[in-house]
Amino acid sequence: MPVFTGVILAGGQGSRMGGRDKGLVQLHNQPLYQHVLQRLQPQVDSVLISANRHLDQYQLSGCKVITDTLPDWPGPLAGMLSGLRHSQSEWVVFCACDTPYIPQDFVLRLWQQRAEAPAVWVRSAMRDHPVLALLNRALADELATYLARGERRLMQFLRASGGHAVLFEEDERVFRNINTADDLAQEQEE
């Protein structure tokens, strides 16, 4: 097994959450990103948190906090580029801060099923989850060029770089995103 760096993507604007920093929204008395960290940390050798505000609060986790190098909130690919640039390992695993139930073996399964691909991502029975991905650090320059052209489509980049999806047949709930206040309220009740 290679060394893996995990990156929690928490740098978005939270527009569907009313502008709140999604990673810091409380779910069962704990910030949302902490749920992700607890599941991701045992699967990787180190964890970075990609955030663009409230950096001091994320630093309380003990993880290194990184920011986007591109202005104007260009989306998850900007956080992925920062993660690739800051990683000390060849392989980098990404996970959105709003996906608290990721499988406890998702990194291993992505690795085992990647074949020779430089990028793989999770596909559940219902849809693709491109922010749950494993990328080779060598994709950083290609990604920087893609973003410099004004491109923002994550799936297009992953496919163009030679990546493919890995099917996960778990209950769809493990890939649930908490995007809105209604999603959060529903999770609090369950």
Annotated binding-site residues for Mg(2+) read 98
AA letter at 58: Y
AA letter at 82: S
Residue for token digits 């956080």?
79
Residue for token digits 């998702």?
106
Q: Which of 22, 172, 14 has the alpha carbon at shortest distance from 97? A: 22
Q: How many other C-beta atoms are found inside a 10 Å radius of the C-beta of residue 73?
A: 12
Q: Which residues are annotated as a binding site?
A: 9-11, 22, 68, 98
**Helix (H) or strand (E) run with residue 64 in it:** strand 64-66
Q: Which of 119, 105, 116 has the alpha carbon at shortest distance from 168? A: 105
Q: Which residues are annotated as a binding site for GTP?
A: 9-11, 22, 68, 98
Instruction: Give the count of alpha carbons within 13 A of 153, CB side only.
Output: 6
